[in-house]
Amino acid sequence: QVIRCRAAVAWATGKPLSLEEVEVAPPKAGEVRIKIVATGICRTDDHILEGSFPDVDFPVIPGHEGAGIVESVGEGVTSVKPGEKVILVSLPHCGECSFCLNPESNYCLKSHLSEPQNLLPDKTSRFTCKGKQIHHFLWVSTFSEYTVIPEYAVAKIDAAAPLDKVCLLGCGFSTGYGAAINAAKVKPGSTCAIFGLGGVGLSVVIGCKVAGASRIIAIDINKDKFAKAKELGATDCLNPRDFKKPIQEVVTEMTGHGVDYSFEAIGLADTMIAALASCNMNTGVCVMVGLADSGSLISIDPMLLLSGRTWKGTLLGGMKLR
Ligand code: NAD
Ligand code: ZN
Ligand code: ZN
């Protein structure tokens, strides 16, 4: 049976989301239809509206931090049943490809990133609105009251889990926490600097704190973020606009030779370079988490790396999300 429900549809770049009645087709083989109970809003959803996320086809239903209840399952689905609570994961896990079998990797070759056409794996959509096909986003599309997703992008969770909280595991929390724990591998007693204190950056702060960092420097141009950052473990909060000199010089002076680990959770070339230059010139590790506009380029002084720094990125905090 087709379900009619509400969804927030992005019809074109640069236009606000519009609330529409959509039709959601039943799940095909290997797919699951889910009633979305809670969804977060990640900055990446805004990148879609601005047209700065690569390979998005419009019209599209964004949203990729959701949790809900299985409504129905397609043929062959065995890992979840109607009525069970699940988190939708924005990076699937088929469990069979070479990336899934590699314990070091959290990528999957059978993902929407390998074939970025914003349709389900059979290259069709389950959404229509006003007679038009609507695209999926990362297969997840949580800004709809119902959505259809491949079984291997669905994680079954405990029946007691509070869906309004665990939905953040679908992207923001896993990304930030994993950036500290998996990508940087923050060591006890180390120093860290986090650029950007949104949902992702604050989750990096939590990861650094859990890993036992002794100094956690939280950086944002919005000082209203500082109270929450301190509550979660930040020891120092800096607003780059309060300083005449570049923020990387401030961080380097505060710590002697720069932090052991730095993180960029904003998505701007300038702050990516500032984060890189803020870590120790020889042993520092800088993790790029923020998503830069598609097509943008960074140019850096090669000495920043030649002296020994490590610069790396992370997708979803390196977590095998499912
Ligand atoms: P957000 O918009 O909630 O937070 C960004 C923060 O950066 C804000 O607090 C803002 O005030 C601050 N900021 C903006 N410009 C700044 C500047 N010049 N200097 C210092 N601070 C500045 O975003 P979010 O949801 O936390 O996501 C952060 C970034 O991570 C986004 O680019 C998002 O697309 C990306 N992201 C990446 C992954 C991944 O897998 N790598 C996953 C999720 C999100
Ligand atoms: Zn996200
Ligand atoms: Zn796989």
* pLDDT, tens digit, 9 for 90 and up, residues 184-228: 999 999 999 999 999 999 999 999 999 999 999 999 999 999 999
| Of 271, 190, 286, residue with least CA distance to 238 | 271
| Structure tokens given for 251 | 């961080």
Query: Looking at this protein, which amino acid is placed at residue 205?
Result: V
Where along the chain do the CATH 3.40.50.720 domains lie? 176-315
CA angle (71, 72, 73) in 5-degree steps: 140
Strand boundaries in the chain, DSSP class E = 3-9, 18-24, 31-39, 66-73, 85-88, 127-129, 132-134, 146-150, 154-156, 191-195, 215-219, 236-238, 261-264, 285-288, 310-313
Q: Where in the chain is the domain with CATH 3.90.180.10?
A: 3-170
How wide is the angle at C-alpha 34 spanned by C-alphas 29 and 35, nearest 5°?
155
For residues 193 and 262, the answer to whether their CB atoms sit within 8 Å is yes
Alpha helices by DSSP H, listed for the chain, are 43-50, 98-101, 163-166, 172-178, 199-210, 226-232, 247-255, 269-278, 303-306
To the nearest 10°, report the CA torsion of 101, 104, 109, 115: 170
Q: Structure tokens of 248?
A: 């990387």
- Does the pLDDT of residue 117 top 80, yes or no? no
Which are the contacts of 22, defined by CB distance < 8 A and separation ≥ 6?
4, 5, 6, 7, 9, 61, 127, 128, 129, 134, 144
- Spacing, Cα 195 to ligand 1 middle (Å): 8
> Ligand 3 centroid to 101 CA: how many Å?
7
Report which of residues 115 and 171 the model is more confident about: 171
Q: Is the pLDDT of residue 52 over 90?
A: no
The binding-site residues of ligand 1, defined as CB within 6 angstroms of any ligand atom, are 42-44, 47, 171-172, 175, 195-201, 219-222, 225, 240, 265-268, 271, 289-291, 314-316
The pLDDT score that the predictor gives to residue 115 is 73
Give the Å distance between the CA of 73 and the centre of ligand 1.
35
For residue range 61-91, what is the model confidence (pLDDT) as tens digits?
A: 999 999 999 999 999 999 999 999 999 999 9
Res. 116: pLDDT tops 90:
no
User: Over the stretch 148-198, which tens digit does the pLDDT of each residue have?
Assistant: 999 999 999 999 999 999 999 999 999 999 999 999 999 999 999 999 999
Judged against a pLDDT cut of 80, whether residue 271 lies above it is answered with yes
Residue with more model confidence, 38 or 117 = 38
> What is residue 55's predicted lDDT score, i.e. its pLDDT?
85
Q: Whole-number mean pLDDT of the chain? A: 96
User: Ligand 1 pocket: which of 42, 107, 140, 219 to mutate (most atoms <8 Å of CB)?
Assistant: 42
Which one of the ligands is nearest to 102 CA?
3
- 176-315 adopts what CATH topology? Rossmann fold (3.40.50)
| Residue 34 contacts residue 154 (beta carbons within 8 Å) | yes
Query: What are residue 35's DSSP bridge partners?
Result: 69, 146
**91's tokens:** 């990076």
Cβ-Cβ contacts under 8 Å for 36 (sequence gap 6 or more): 63, 66, 67, 68, 142, 144, 145, 146, 147
CA nearest ligand 1 atom 10, residue: 196
Tokens 């679908």, residue located? 170
- Residue 299 pLDDT > 90: yes
Distance 284 CA to ligand 1 centre (A): 22
With a pLDDT cut of 70, the percent of the chain lying above it is: 100
For residue 161, give both structure tokens.
């889990």
- Predicted confidence band of residue 294 (pLDDT cuts 50, 70, 90): confident
Ligand 2 ion: residues within 5 Å (CB): 42, 44, 171
What phi and psi, each to the nearest 5 degrees, are found at residue 176?
-70, -45
- Does position 130 have pLDDT exceeding 90, yes or no? yes
At the top level of CATH, the class of 3-170 is: alpha beta
DSSP state of 35: E
What would the mean pLDDT of 287-294 be, rounded to a whole number?
94
Which pLDDT band, with edges at 50, 70 and 90, does 37 fall under? Answer: very high
Q: What is the mean pLDDT of residues 129-158?
A: 97
Contact 182, 312 (CB under 8 A): no
Ligand nearest to the CA of 315: 1
